[in-house]
Amino acid sequence: MEDPLTKILDRNEDGKLSAGEIKRAATALLKLDKDDDDALSAEELKPEEPKKSRRQKRKEKEGEGQDNPRPPKPPKSPLMEALDTNEDGELSKEELKNAIESLTKLDKDGDGKLSQEESGLKSKEERQRGGPPGGGPGGQGGPPPGGRPGPPRR
């Protein structure tokens, strides 16, 4: 499930917000405004539920015995946190008006853009790879964490 904010603000999905993307933030966000009140309700900001296929549903049923608690609320993205200044989970007209300013506040190095780190976004490629990049030299081929004692099995 993806934060609609992320999708709508990061137009080229590189995980960063360019100066242009920030400038267009308010306009872009208003595309989420379905009832035309120039504000975004929690409902309008909710990520769309992906439709489940039958197979997935069956899978869930089979796993019913397992304890599989879901967190009631997904963690807020840094973007939402920055934009929702009164933390009510909605973006009012006022908050949208300040969108550019709020986003600029996340720009710690003052280059007018938000890097992946600053925005908390992930690039498309990173999502596909399914993990954070790096590890660095020696990250591969090392002993497994918490290695087992004893001789290796064959």
Residues that bind Ca ion (CB under 5 A): 33, 35, 37, 39, 84, 86, 88, 90, 95, 107, 109, 111, 113, 115
Q: In the bound complex, what is the minimum distance in angstroms from residue 78's beta carbon to Ca ion?
A: 13
Cα 53 to Cα 77: distance, rounded to the nearest angstrom: 27
Q: Which is nearer to Ca ion, 97 or 127 (CB)?
A: 97
Q: Which is nearer to Ca ion, 13 or 85 (CB)?
A: 85
Q: In the bound complex, what is the minimum distance in angstroms from residue 89's beta carbon to Ca ion?
A: 7
Q: Which is nearer to Ca ion, 7 or 30 (CB)?
A: 30
Q: Which is nearer to Ca ion, 20 or 63 (CB)?
A: 20
Residue at token pair 């030299």:
137
Q: In the bound complex, what is the minimum distance in angstroms from residue 139's beta carbon to Ca ion?
A: 27
Assess contact for 82 and 35: CB atoms under 8 A: no
Characterize 86-101 residue by residue with b for buried, 16 or more Cβ atoms within 10 angstroms of its Cβ, and e for exposed: eeeeebbeebbebbee
Q: How many CB atoms lie within 10 A of CB 79?
A: 25
Cα 64 to Cα 93: distance, rounded to the nearest angstrom: 43
Q: In the bound complex, what is the minimum distance in angstroms from residue 46's beta carbon to Ca ion?
A: 12
